[in-house]
A and B are shown apart, each in its own frame.
Chain A
């Protein structure tokens, strides 16, 4: 049985901070961008184009995620090409494919891209329905791959438990629920009654599970008083809203996403729901900055996805984000979402690994040399430090959430710059060597190792 601790000590243990600057990573790290002169590469470098197959959603509802993902990679490629290309010689050529074609077609397209188009590198993917299907194929094709999203824990827990060629730069899905719960427990520690509304498929279950296991540890006296599970395709949330309101909760935990979330909050406003309880969303701001209206209520915990919102780290606090946001906005006339940051960072992560491998052996490095450089790589990206764990090829960056706020500078709400909540990712995810668990490794790790806060 885990020990009981004081809640403040508990938060200190997790390293949760509000409005904090990023912690230092110590030694000089690779960074995004090519502002400074690069070292001269060793050996002979071919000048053939470096072909990247980028598959994401260019049509359909998920294009709101996919288009920025491609733009992020496009921006990085343009910067790298303007500086001469990878290792100063190989210009990046992007080949697009629409993920909306369906999983079977996507698998075929991946094979075609590798076998017919001879791509050197595969990137992209938004849907968690696709990464577990494409991951094994990329391994079979020996195709170096960085998935930008497709965040399901299932990918590295089950589908490709021992990856060699594939990596993923987003955080895992479980981080959404854990982060939302830690933020809610820290902000509203007197919460006793919790209502839940989650989509009735595995993301909602995942959010519910991980929010719940954290609450069990941090607010053990709190109880769930209502559960709503809107089916996929629900447009009328009134029954879920009234059910939650009638249970008189202190807190609503919600993981409804995208257009469903927008329909939800606009209906909830009519019921005065946000005046009747606190609200912690796992993913309210997890689409694109412009996807949320100004009428969105202020002061709720508005979760992001993959731990990035373009306003954090803000101002001059973290130049790589400031520069990235400025360049992205100048190039595409919009603000980047987490996918744009992911596409951008993935490209620079690859560039950095190629350069490291070249410095070691000279010439154009083979894939295994690049892979060995990606494993354990840490770089300063717009979102902060991103670390690729060598054991599972998963990218990690510190968790971020915050409180919704309208400011004059933007036509959409942002995270309140004064109240950003960050949590070191290592403190909320299962560590290397932790056995695979159900429903996820992170869940069993929290359940078995976290202490319980005193009620």
Chain B
């Protein structure tokens, strides 16, 4: 059972139990407010942070307010395609270059950057030469604004477009506008983004949506190993859309000695509106616990359902605390951080006869049998189970049901029958295309032993067999995981099947039904309660879960969901670190789920607070190798504060074991002429006080440049790139 057992036979726990489930704040209150109101409340220390625009923009912030910065938006110039004078690619590119040259002289919050991959993206190094080339190209463009009218869409654009060249939307040749990266990054909660892309390329692609087709991206995938550096090959929209630069989001934090917060992590692309912020932020007056008060700018207008809801900014923030993903986006780039699953990959595996294959038509699991099919890869998952908020224990049935759901609402590839949801289809496409079989290898027990306090966990081990290839990058973005119990998913499905609601906004509009809201739609909740009564009376077990769930277990599940609804007044049951306790039109209160079955402890993601950087100070070539001397930032914590200092890198301290992703890594990109990316790689090899990189590989003789950037503890953001010449002799 996923529960702590308190054994008094050996009374030897200390005053400290170094494990507290869930994260620091015991309560999170989120209030929607205008920036001006946030400024007042930050001044009086009544809130801890404002997730939104800078409330002190244009003025001075109080001393106890600091900012975290993340990529806010792209500034893009989009040409009106049907205009004859701009139908020619060359004409568009030339006009774009002249306009960008003018924009490049602008001062303020806009940063001139004529390339879609920015220093906030983890694949920046692989595009660094192209960024520099793009800047040179703009610099060499003829001066002066071309004879074009540009419609400035939005306040920032209005400050950038000279008045004499402004036009209306209808009459203009092009549009200059901001595209907020949060809108680009808004994934449906069930997962499913473009797989295996570097962050920059992914957002670049999304920025270019409608101007570059997905096949151009996908088609370039095999060109290089590693991240999708091959996007360099994509003819970016043929200047239909030109990236002019980006803006940085500045979000305010109260760090006052007593009433402020510390240990703050944030996402380089989404800022404080991220799962990592919720999982690290700590109140200064509390070693743990405390009441966190947040302001947000956006009214929560999207429906609250865990399948395709929570799509607005406030909804995403709420869901990042209530839901729990299998992996967390690494906040400063790189591979996702394990959260509720751990994965290892093997290649070329025969699918065992007792693995389960899901029949897409009937959506029932059947044994694979002795056909002996070979999977390109097997991903072995350890699933960290826990209790759901309705006090039911997570089981294998909960882990496997999302596969059934994916086929039910996503359909077969190319199948567009009615009864599917396009958002679910899109977000589960990767799963449905790559899944061959699953096998429940075992359900292990794990113990955390703190003397007389022993915490016992169940860890299902699920093997997933895939059509796609193996390798470190082959772990799919989806996993055998569900943050909601199967009975809630079934209840939602029933509501959608009966036409009471739709999972996604798009499908709700199409079907003229409400967008499924488990919390705020009283009429729907009443209908769900009636359906729940019926399911409990049967008790209902979905065909796909027969053999995994007994009738008695199903009865208990339905009863637990009913009890939860009666107690809390909503159906949003998850196994996440916070539970929805109170809500109104403009406010939400989340209570911590300090249940001892929750397997992730406060402090688990502390390494992401205070991101550090490293700098190349000297490079020396010895043979094929490049030896790098560096300076690294060190953090000294004291009382309720810290300081960052820069000091020479002294190599790895002797005798210390290092967690994965921690330490100094030299990343490099070998560039041939003209702008041909020959090789990318990373090295953590150290000799003495020097990092060692060997970029030689299979490079043919010739002149190259090696772009170097140092990543310290997984921080890819704003690297200082050093370019050194590298010659391979005949």
Contacts and interface: CB of A to CB of B under 8 A. Distances in A.
Given A59-B603, A95-B653, A201 B452 contact: yes
Interface in B591-607: 591-592, 594-596, 601-604, 606-607
B695 interface: no
B64 to A, nearest CB: 13
A95 B15 contact: no
Interface in A331-367: 332-335
Interface in B1-56: 4, 6, 8, 10-21, 26-27
A432 interface: no
B4 A232 contact: yes
B478 interface: no
B594 A201 contact: no
B655 A61 contact: no
A180 interface: no
A69 to B, nearest CB: 12
Contacts of B19: 60-61
B12 A152 contact: yes
13 contacts: A61-B20, A102-B449, A103-B449, A104-B449, A127-B16, A127-B450, A129-B450, A150-B14, A158-B10, A159-B12, A202-B8, A202-B13, A260-B289
Q: Which 4 A-B pairs have the closest CB atoms?
A: A128-B14, A154-B12, A60-B603, A259-B288
A51 B10 CA distance: 34
A223 to B, nearest CB: 24
B27 to A, nearest CB: 8
B17 A201 contact: yes
B451 A128 contact: yes
B553 interface: no
B294 to A, nearest CB: 18
B15 A173 contact: yes
Given A200-B6, A201-B6, A65 B16 contact: yes
B639 A202 contact: no
Interface of A: 51, 53, 57, 59-65, 67, 93, 95-100, 102-104, 109, 112-113, 117, 119, 126-129, 132-133, 149-155, 158-159, 173, 176, 200-203, 205-206, 232-236, 255, 257-260, 262-263, 283, 286-291, 293-295, 305, 332-335, 411, 439
A260 B602 CA distance: 13
A152 B13 contact: yes
Contacts of A291: 287
**Max chain A C-beta neighbours (<10 A), residue from B27, B639, B641:** B639
Contacts of A159: 12
A262 B637 contact: no
A272 B618 CA distance: 63
B15 A334 contact: no
A265 to B, nearest CB: 11
A151 B15 contact: yes
A334 B639 contact: yes
Contact of B10 (A151, A154, A235): A154
Interface string B630-667: 00000011111101000000000111110000000000
B453 interface: yes
Interface of B: 4, 6, 8, 10-21, 26-27, 257-258, 285-290, 448-453, 591-592, 594-596, 601-604, 606-607, 636-641, 643, 653-657
Contacts of A98: 657
Contact of A305 (B15, B26, B638, B653): B15
A269 B158 CA distance: 53
A255 B603 contact: no
Contacts of B451: 127-129, 132, 152, 154, 202
Contact of A233 (B10, B286, B594, B643): B594
B6 to A, nearest CB: 6
Nearest to B258: A293
A65 B602 CA distance: 15
Identify whether the interface residues of B are mostly helix, strand, loop, or mixed: loop
B15 A61 contact: no
A288 B288 CA distance: 13
Contacts of B453: 129, 201-202, 232
A132 B14 CA distance: 11
A422 B258 CA distance: 31
Contacts of B287: 61, 64, 258-259, 262, 287, 291
A129 B449 contact: yes
B682 to A, nearest CB: 24
Contact of A258 (B12, B288, B643): B288
B260 to A, nearest CB: 12
A109 B17 CA distance: 20
Given A258-B288, A287-B287, A151 B14 contact: yes
A57 B601 CA distance: 14
A117 to B, nearest CB: 4
B12 A95 contact: no
A201 B289 CA distance: 19
Contacts of B591: 235
A95 B595 CA distance: 35
Contacts of B595: 233
A98 B8 CA distance: 27
Given A99-B18, A126-B16, 16 more contacts: A63-B606, A67-B637, A93-B654, A113-B655, A127-B18, A128-B451, A129-B451, A152-B14, A200-B6, A202-B11, A202-B12, A202-B452, A205-B11, A235-B591, A263-B26, A305-B15
Contact of A57 (B6, B18, B21, B26): B18
B15 A255 contact: yes
A336 to B, nearest CB: 11
B603 A235 contact: no
Contacts of A200: 6
A387 to B, nearest CB: 22
A128 B602 contact: no
Contact of A203 (B15, B257, B638): B15
Contacts of B657: 97-98, 109, 112
A203 B206 CA distance: 55
B642 to A, nearest CB: 9
A133 B594 CA distance: 27
B290 A262 contact: yes
A333 B639 contact: yes
A355 to B, nearest CB: 26
B606 A263 contact: no
A244 B603 CA distance: 32
Contacts of B643: 333
A236 B290 CA distance: 10
B389 to A, nearest CB: 14
B509 to A, nearest CB: 41
B640 A290 contact: yes
Given A97-B657, A117-B654, A294-B258, A127 B288 contact: no
